[in-house]
Amino acid sequence: MKFTEGYWLRSQHVREHYAAQVWEMKEVDGGMSLLVPLQATPHKGNTVNVPCLTLTFLAVGENAISVKATHFSGYDTHKPEFELTKTMQTVEVSETDDECVMEAGKLTVRVRKNPFSYSFESDGKVITTCGFRNLGYMEWDMEPSTMLPSDHYLDENRKKPYIVSELSLSAGECVYGFGERFTSFVKNGQSVQTWNEDGGTASDVAYKCVPFYMTSAGYGVLVNHSGNVQFEAASEKVGYVGFSVEDESMEYIFFYGPDLHDVLRRYTALTGRPALPPAWSFGLWLSTSFTTSYDEETTTSFIQGMKDRDIPLSVFHYDCFWMREFRLCDLDWDTRQFPDPEGMIRRDHEKGVKVCVWMNPYIAQNTALFEEAARGGYLLMRADGKGIWQTDNWQYGMGIVDFTNPQAWTWYQSKLKKLTDMGVDAFKTDFGERIPVNVRYYNGADPQAMHNYYTYLYNKCVFELLEREKGKGNAVLFARSATVGGQKFPVHWGGDCMATYPSMAETLRGGLSFAMTGFSFWSHDISGFESTATPDLYKRWAAFGLLSSHSRLHGSGSYRVPWLFDDEAPGVVKFFANLKCRLMPYIYERSVFAAETGIPVMRPMELEFQEDPAVKTLDMQYMLGDRLLVAPVFSEDGKADYYLPAGRWTHLLSGEVREGGRWYSDRYDYLSLPLYVRENTILATGACQDRPDYDYEKDLLLTWYQPEGDAEVRIAGQDGSVKAYVSAHRDGSRITVKVKGDLPGLKLRVFGMPDAEVTITAG
């Protein structure tokens, strides 16, 4: 939120109080606490009628420092708290006449007493600072109180209280993250509100808002506030990232790398690591689309059509109108179109296809489920006490499930269990953003702060049910909304994009920003949700979609089966679906790594090549894992401009080798795109190309591209366990490979060295 009008002038809506000096310091467990007057106090006579902040620094994890500024400590909005795992660290605190210092691991917090400022430092280097007019308490739209007898007598609450903090940026420092944002990948110059809303992919409104950002200087910041956090990313003050909350206190947590991988490791250690999705979920998903008409004959024809064209299909998704119109979301099949849903699901399974169904937590009034929920007290209530909160915005008279009520939680899971008992394998947890604030929750939670937090409870409830019914490692969602911690319940997809090249590009930008906030598994609607793509766009987007962690053909008012686009489209979808299946030993092991570390499968170039200044702004290409570079084609003429970082890169499909550290511009047919293997990579590919879930360790092909010195790779099974480790060493033309574990039928190829002498040993 902007409290200034330009750099010097204050908005007349605000009465500002900025941190002026440190009055006293005391050591506390894990850190230090400072009393910070909000105006200069040169002597005791200046210490009355002075607002202060209590500023506490705590070491809550490895290279992770919590900073909490509190004005009124008795103020309680009953806001929900993110589920964080804080691990208190050993610290050293010292004080002199001029400063207070806290040392924790590689991080040092240095606080200057007068005038007030503080800095985060490591190895004697300043990382970022908070100083002149950077920390304050703001009274917004304040109505004056009075000392005279009236309704306003000593009324300190006739205002909106804000805590604001700002951290400095160095010259050229870039800011990333804030969730799945479709605006420019580099967030410098943007005002960002973390307020989830159903806004599509073409604006600054986002489905998945996360109050966390990282910068190219190697640190990240999480504002630990479940309500709307307002950021000014080099916008209100171009040399700072500012963040503010409407509250009497604010905590943020500072994570230092300096490698951005380590920032994500530390952030997800605190907020949660993603569950590992089942191997079958990485295959191609096909949807009925949103508002189309369909019945079992239609869906069967789609599944059979994919089989007839030899296109591997893993999941069939029944969207929206598997239920009856005006009865969403009562979780009952429309038996006019699907008279035998249990038998239909069984028949789908017999074809080797998993089943996903659409849902959301909104229940239309015209349903038995609404009546049952109303009787049980399972729906959000009106804030004015006049019964259940209802709206016609989406479904007639709908109510919303109150997941803060433990009985509602259990009741809702029991309704989903009826579907899993039928054989449903996964749920598309749509919506979760249209959450009102003029409501009362069962547990008394602040409805403003619950607006974003609601999606965490919603997706957790559904994911927990799937884990219980399908077993850990076999649960997967297709979720649209998220907040801090939502990465624990994969997969998420990018929402309602248009069938255009600019929308395809904005979709990728959203996914890259999302990856910078700790989410490891992400998908999008291949060819766009709204409107119908041209055959050209459909084929280009198919390549991009099938080189994402998860891949789904989905749309709004028309079907997305490839043979409806042109004669060439089925072959393109088949080609890239086959390729993804062959790449599954690599993709799945990188997914296991993501579940272990929080480092995503799809990675922005800046995350992987932080030391290369040329990659800071790149948002039309990405890394799939750490070894494959992908640059989708975003133009009708088939031209792609892309950058290869330093090193030698081998095109996976053509075998062409190119030197990095420079830009390239090429044209591609529909069966290719810039897809390069990083030098000194041992790439594991499988022998199966018609399904994603198979024994990756059998008949494995290991290809060592541009070998230099030493390289290694590990092989994971589809159960998520590591089955084998392979290490290789090159000495001239001699290649020595050691295999630890059982890899029957293993083949090894050394790319570019046809005369290599290869020795494979166990050990």
Catalytic center residues: 430, 433, 496
667 CB-contact burial (10 Å; exposed 0-12 / middle 13-18 / buried 19+): exposed
Q: How many residues does the chain have?
A: 763
Within 10 Å of residue 600's Cβ, how many Cβ atoms?
31
Distance, CA of 210 to CA of 119 (rounded, Å)? 24
Residue 526 host element (H or E): strand 525-526
Angle at 7 between CA 5 and CA 8, to 5 degrees: 85
Contact 405, 446 (CB under 8 A): no
**Residue 295 amino acid letter:** D
CA atoms within 13 A on the CB side of 414: 9
Amino acid letter for position 123: D
Query: Which one, of 212, 737, 89, 753, lies nearest residue 517 by Cα?
Result: 212
CA separation, residue 669 to residues 561, 581, 637 (Å): 21, 21, 9
Candidates 342, 164, 142; CA nearest to 246 is 164
Q: Is 444 exposed, middle or buried (0-12, 13-18, 19+ CB in 10 A)?
A: exposed
Q: How far apart are CA 595 and CA 278, in angstroms?
A: 12
Q: What is the DSSP letter of 641?
A: E
What's the CA gap between 403 and 456, in Å, rounded? 10
| Exposed/middle/buried for residue 666 (C-beta within 10 Å: 0-12, 13-18, 19+) | middle
Specify the DSSP element, H or E, that contains 130: strand 125-130
Taken in order 557, 563, 567, 572, the sign of the CA dihedral is positive
Which of 738, 464, 720 is CA-nearest to residue 593? 720
Residue 134 and residue 633: Cα distance in Å, rounded? Answer: 43
| Alpha helices (runs of H) in 403-500, residue ranges in sequence order | 406-422, 447-470
Q: Inter-axis angle of helices 406-422 and 341-350, to 10 degrees?
A: 60
Query: Are the beta carbons of 602 and 621 closer than 8 angstroms?
Result: no
- Sign of CA pseudo-dihedral 609, 610, 614, 617: positive
Identify the burial level of 721 via C-beta atoms within 10 angstroms of its C-beta, where 0-12 means exposed, 13-18 middle and 19 or more buried: exposed
Element (H, E) at 343: helix 341-350
- Do 740 and 725 contact (CB within 8 A), yes or no? yes
Query: Do 749 and 703 form a contact (C-beta atoms < 8 A)?
Result: yes
Which residues, other chains included, contact 388 with Cβ-Cβ below 8 Å and sequence gap of 6+? Answer: 374, 379, 380, 381, 382, 399
Tokens of 492: 């998420």
Evaluate whether 743 touches 697 at the Cβ level (below 8 Å): yes
The DSSP code for 46 is G
Contact 95, 87 (CB under 8 A): no
Angle at 85 between CA 79 and CA 87, to 5 degrees: 125
Q: Which residues pair with 676 in a beta bridge?
A: 629, 651
Spatial CA neighbour of 44 closest among 23, 25, 18, 71: 23
